[in-house]
Structure 1
Amino acid sequence: MNRRKFLKRSALLSGLLALNPIDTFANTDAKSISGTKGKAKNIIFMISDGMSSGTLAMANLYSKNVLGRSTNWMNLYTENKVSRALMDTASASSIVTDSSAASSAFGGGIRVKNGTLNIGANGEKHLPIWQEWKKKGKKTGCVTSVTITHATPAGFCINSSSRNAEPEIAEMYAEIGFDVMMGGGDEFFNPLKREDKKDVYETYRQKNYQIAKNKSDLQNIKKNKPLLGIFNTGALPYSIDKVNDKSFQNTPTLAEMSKTAIDQMKDHDKGFLLQIEGGKVDWAAHANDIPALIHDQLAFDEAVKVAMDFAEKDGNTLVIITTDHGNANPGIIYDADATKKFESISNYKFSNEYLLNSLHSDFNLQQIKDLVFEMNQFSLTDKEALELLSFYNGLEKEDGLYNYKKLPYKLFSEIQKKHNSVGWMSMDHSSDYVELAMYGPGSEQLKPFVKNTDVHQIMQNALGK
């Protein structure tokens, strides 16, 4: 080889290796993002947490084949209403991010280590965008289907060295004074459930917040007062379970919470910033729970419609629709009857979580088979029923991020795969390049491939910073 060419190639390779490997293939920076032609008064930032591209595709296929219509998100593509990109989701510590680092990339504009919220490598605090613009006079809020103190809403709002500091995060929100906060997490506000017995609800009441505990409460709120809506201990129920279990029917949907939040803030003369998170999409992916995944993605899609209906009428709102990372990479696997098998998911009455919590160690094999048939409309073999029962007799236990009851999620998803043709790569986050769509003033800044931190700068440009 020519020595000069060899040295030139060696220098190029050395330069590439000197770069942070997490950033090698996502080398945009704030300077490369041009200023916006349009200025946004409002921003609605929508995150379907843990949504791999397969989740988006399956929800749309289910909606088309079973419900007879495409999803609102996919209609934005087919009608050419949005700018669209792929996004690199890495954190400062890994090419596979967690939700706290991913949200901090959006909220604080920097990549931080997994597990932290807007705290840099040397302990420095980066001001989250919702807090920054709250101080400048805009109204700010978050709604989610998980705990309102969870990583994704927190990443837009506060600084913390630990995403798990949810009791403290509940107090931070009150101190900062966000205008609308809705989701689950009663255990972080209720003195009967907090370890320190502190009544955080009372803290909010003293700051003139109105407290909503169910869907009926939302019909009686006043627009001139800030709102805290806490609708469950832990996360809200899965959407499919809310539909089919009457005990959940006074729990608001993500779309209902989103509409309430917009209505509460839309008349403010300085505008508003709202984050909407379909947080249980991520939890369903962790559990390989296909009925929960599809129906919570569709619930998120209904919230997309709420946001877009407002933005198209308003004309001054930037809508951002994306995810923070992939999870489990589900997809439909080839089979001669793949279409029919996939559509059989319409027979599932409840989430896998609900079904598996309904099984007990004292069930006999026939009782297990009867319950699965009632809820999923397919028949287990005796061997499959016995394998499921072994988990409840303590012979086997299955781990998982949100699997505190050690339910046999993986085993049951493998059984279901024979009947619905849905396969899963894992039960955890992945490093996918993910979907990102933008509508409204500021969306013209979006390039075909960006880093998650670039979205922060696009928002700042659109707001006129």
Structure 2
Amino acid sequence: MDRRKFFKKGTLLAAGGALFGNPISGLATTMDYDISVKGKRAKNIIFMVSDGMSSGTLALSDHFQNRILGHRSVWMSAYMDNKVTRGLMETSSASAIVTDSSAGSSAFGGGVRVANGSLNVGANGEQYLPIWQKMKRKGKKIGVVTTVTATHATPAGFNVNNNSRYSEPQIAIDYLNLGVDVVMGGGDEFFNEDKREDKRDLYEDYEDKGYAVVKTLNELKQTGKNKPILGIFNEGALPYQLDRKNTPELEKTIPSLADMTKKAIEHLNTSKNGFALQIESGKVDWAAHANDLGGLLFEQIQFDEALKVALEFAEKDGETLVIFTTDHGNANPGLIYGKTADKDFETVAKYKYTNEWILNQIDNSYSPNKVRELVDEYLGFEITSSEAHHILGYYSNIEKEEQGLYNYKHLPYEGFANMQKKHSSVGWISMDHSSDHVEVAAFGPGKELLKPFVKNTDLHYLMLQAAQIENKF
């Protein structure tokens, strides 16, 4: 094939974000790849997304693992050992400097910037073929693994075209029709006939197409390599890792991201033509939206554990490109300077549950003292009686209920996080996405294609070039 023509075409497509009103389209150009030298082909691609990971989240996770667990994070170790190519990435969508997850994933998936809320569909209805469909058409097995609903924005962006990220019941059908070989995460409500509006039993439909349908960790472990896998382990998202590891029943029944990653690779690696796998730690983003420190740290650590699985496989395999990054920043947490900051941050090691879990225990029957006891027992710090009264005000409608993405029960996330800050020395700038230039790294064949500064759409074409797949579909 004429690879120069291939990437000339790719550059034009990637630049297409300007057609849809990208407010900063002129600030970042598409990669000008040097394609005169043909490198080693990447037979397999693993694309890993820590959704909503600001650079502060990465730093906090590394500090915690270094100071409390006695080792550096896998992500930072890859940097320190000089095993990867590293860059910064601009994350804007076609409609805004600050992207949402669907537009962010579509940039990776379709190679063109689209408006927030859309999945690989342009302003005038243009549909951009998602990259996992391109890989499937070349004979590769494809898969998605996430800690939120399997049909959520990030996994969907690698596979489907839809005007709305919220069309999750349809996306569950799309995965079946497209033949996605591995689908794992939460979202029982989108597959279960008792919960779907159309009463369609998608579990049965997947089984009829030869899928192994699994709903527990034990069932996942017992699944063989020869069948495609639908693993749906919860209604809604999977539990936070911190809550899971301190709740025996959850730890027994719900797989970790590393568990799912290992099984997904095991199945997909049976393909003679290779595979493409997208892995997401989706609740890093959810915890950032809630300013939930324990939730955030342990979701990022969970991502790190899955990253270790992927990198160890890739290092042994020698034919696998691993890309790890995020789709955007969120809330920009950071350890704030002070005489007791180090000591304060180390108290996070005492956390047994997330703020979400704690706040869900409280109801109108609680006294201020009972609230204080709850916080002390499960988070290891003391709040004042006045603060306990303030928290209870949210449950008796004295205080105005909090809104916010994924705050379905209107819990007092922000109010509680502000109290927690005094004890952890970790602060936040907001409870929403941010426009950070974010970290991106690559390991394996094709890693040399990653430039120091890229647009999110560039990664689409990097994967195609690394896999030596011509962009003609």
TM-score, normalising length: structure 1: 0.95
SS in 2 for 1:24: helix
Does residue 369 of structure 2 align to residue 366 of structure 1?
yes
Does residue 278 of structure 2 align to residue 275 of structure 1?
yes
User: 1:415 corresponds to which residue?
Assistant: 419
User: 2:246 corresponds to which residue?
Assistant: 244
CA distance in 2, matches of 1:386, 1:219: 46
CA distance in 1, matches of 2:412, 2:152: 25
1:225-240 map, 5 Å: 225-240=227-242
Select 1:104's aligned residue among 103, 106, 112. 106
User: 1:431 corresponds to which residue?
Assistant: 435
- Paired amino acid for 1:253: S
CA deviation vs aligned residue, 1:302-323 (integer Å, no higher than 9, x gap)? 0000000000000000000000
CA distance in 1, matches of 2:43, 2:380: 50
User: 2:54 corresponds to which residue?
Assistant: 52
CA distance in 1, matches of 2:300, 2:23: 32
CA deviation vs aligned residue, 1:267-291 (integer Å, no higher than 9, x gap)? 3110000000000000000000000
Select 2:410's aligned residue among 406, 415, 426. 406
User: 1:159 corresponds to which residue?
Assistant: 161
1:78-89 map, 5 Å: 78-89=80-91
Off by >4 Å, runs of 4+ in structure 1: none
CA distance in 2, matches of 1:246, 1:22: 49
SS in 2 for 1:141: strand
CA distance in 2, matches of 1:139, 1:313: 20
CA distance in 2, matches of 1:195, 1:335: 54
- Paired amino acid for 2:382: S
Select 2:69's aligned residue among 57, 67, 86. 67
Alignment gaps of 5+ in structure 1 = 1-18
User: 2:460 corresponds to which residue?
Assistant: 456
CA distance in 2, matches of 1:28, 1:271: 27
User: 2:34 corresponds to which residue?
Assistant: 34
Say if 1:270 and 1:159 are closer, same or farther in 2 by CA, change over 3 A. Answer: same
- Paired amino acid for 1:368: V
- Paired amino acid for 1:406: H
1:139-288 map, 5 Å: 139-249=141-251, 250-288=253-291
What is the Cα deviation at residue 134 of structure 1? Answer: 0.7
What is the Cα deviation at residue 34 of structure 1? Answer: 2.7
CA deviation vs aligned residue, 1:80-139 (integer Å, no higher than 9, x gap)? 000000000000000000000000000000000000000012101110010111122100
- Paired amino acid for 1:204: Y
What is the Cα deviation at residue 153 of structure 1? Answer: 0.1
Does residue 355 of structure 2 align to residue 380 of structure 1?
no
CA distance in 1, matches of 2:335, 2:290: 17
Does residue 339 of structure 2 align to residue 342 of structure 1?
no
CA distance in 2, matches of 1:28, 1:126: 17
SS in 1 for 2:27: coil
Kept after mapping to 1: 8 A contact 2:23/2:95 = no
User: 1:14 corresponds to which residue?
Assistant: none
- Paired amino acid for 1:62: F
Does residue 175 of structure 2 align to residue 135 of structure 1?
no
CA distance in 2, matches of 1:266, 1:34: 30
CA distance in 1, matches of 2:40, 2:121: 31
What is the Cα deviation at residue 335 of structure 1? Answer: 1.2
CA deviation vs aligned residue, 1:329-354 (integer Å, no higher than 9, x gap)? 00001110000000101111100000
CA distance in 2, matches of 1:364, 1:98: 39
SS in 1 for 2:375: helix
CA distance in 2, matches of 1:356, 1:365: 13
User: 2:3 corresponds to which residue?
Assistant: none
Alignment gaps of 5+ in structure 2 = 1-20
Kept after mapping to 2: 8 A contact 1:184/1:235 = yes
CA distance in 1, matches of 2:355, 2:34: 46
User: 2:325 corresponds to which residue?
Assistant: 322
CA distance in 2, matches of 1:24, 1:120: 19
- Paired amino acid for 1:385: A
Kept after mapping to 2: 8 A contact 1:33/1:457 = no
Does residue 21 of structure 2 align to residue 22 of structure 1?
no
Does residue 463 of structure 2 align to residue 442 of structure 1?
no
- Paired amino acid for 1:335: G
Kept after mapping to 1: 8 A contact 2:268/2:275 = yes
What is the Cα deviation at residue 195 of structure 1? Answer: 1.6
CA distance in 2, matches of 1:296, 1:33: 34
CA distance in 1, matches of 2:354, 2:451: 38
Select 1:297's aligned residue among 286, 300, 307. 300
SS in 2 for 1:455: helix
- Paired amino acid for 1:43: I
- Paired amino acid for 2:268: M
- Paired amino acid for 1:70: R
What is the Cα deviation at residue 20 of structure 1? Answer: 5.1
SS in 1 for 2:259: helix
Kept after mapping to 2: 8 A contact 1:33/1:454 = no
What is the Cα deviation at residue 28 of structure 1? Answer: 2.4
What is the Cα deviation at residue 163 of structure 1? Answer: 0.1
- Paired amino acid for 1:118: N
SS in 2 for 1:270: coil
SS in 1 for 2:222: coil
CA distance in 1, matches of 2:183, 2:264: 8
